[in-house]
Amino acid sequence: MLELSDIHVARGDFALAADLRIAPGARVAIIGPSGSGKSTLLSLIGGFLTPQRGQVSWQGTDLLPLSPGQRPVSFLFQDQNLFPHLSVAQNVGLGLRPDLRLGPDQQAQVQDALTQVGLRDMGPRKPENLSGGQQSRVALARVLLRARPILLLDEPFSALGPALKSEMLALLGRIADRTRATVLMVTHDPGDARAFADQTIVVDQGRAEAPQPTQALLDNPPAALRAYLG
């Protein structure tokens, strides 16, 4: 269980309050207006922000003393940060070792991750020679190599067209199934939540609500969400 208890995080004039529990293996969407605190919530779980108050734990272990690298999480952000001077394989290898001193076993893991995302033969290429969708896959392969139990995605596919996006969501779903990862994905598209997430957290004006079944929530949205969904 991922537990956020009595959380209060302040960021300048903004504050986020959260009190919620997420079961291992859950697929959770996080939706809400711009500036409501969605990215702040992920940053808190990832260890990039320290709360003024409250607890964050995973399977009973207190995460707050742990640095981002020590936490059981991996991230995928919208801005994929592929390094243009490195090959696709090296970009993925960064998920294993930031200094890229990969032994044969680790190189095999990189190749395996590339194969999983459908880029088996693309390792030697430079990112600029890949399509946008392929670049997204590279970023996903890098995250996969970290193989942490919690996967945090912040509007990961929002730059992609609808067809590519649904392909990436399906790929993410298959990967989450196989790795039994607990996935939290921020999205501004309710369609993404319906396609991917069994539960959805609404964040509104600095309040993160407990996860609710996605379909019921979106079929009958609360007032705050109705305004936002339009």
Which residues of this protein are in contact with ligand ADP, per CB under 6 A? 11-12, 14, 32, 34-40
Q: Is 214 in the site for Mg ion (CB under 5 A)?
A: no
11 binds, among Mg ion, ligand ADP, none (CB under 5 to 8 A by kind): ligand ADP
Nearer to ligand ADP, 53 or 178 (CB): 53
Residue type, 89: A
- Is 204 in contact with 36 (CB distance < 8 Å)? yes
Size of the site for Mg ion (CB under 5 A): 2
Q: How far is the CB of 207 from ligand ADP (least distance, A)?
A: 11
Nearest CA to 152 out of 50, 57, 76, 44 is that of: 76
Residue 104 has a CB neighbour count (10 Å cut-off) of 7
156 binds, among Mg ion, ligand ADP, none (CB under 5 to 8 A by kind): none
Say how far apart CA 114 and CA 95 lie, in whole Å: 12
Q: How far is the CB of 165 from Mg ion (least distance, A)?
A: 17
Q: 141-169 in b/e burial notation, b at 16+ Cβ within 10 A?
A: bbbbbbebbbbbbbbbbeebeeebbbbbb
Nearer to ligand ADP, 13 or 219 (CB): 13
Residues 38-57 close enough to bind Mg ion by CB under 5 A: 38-39
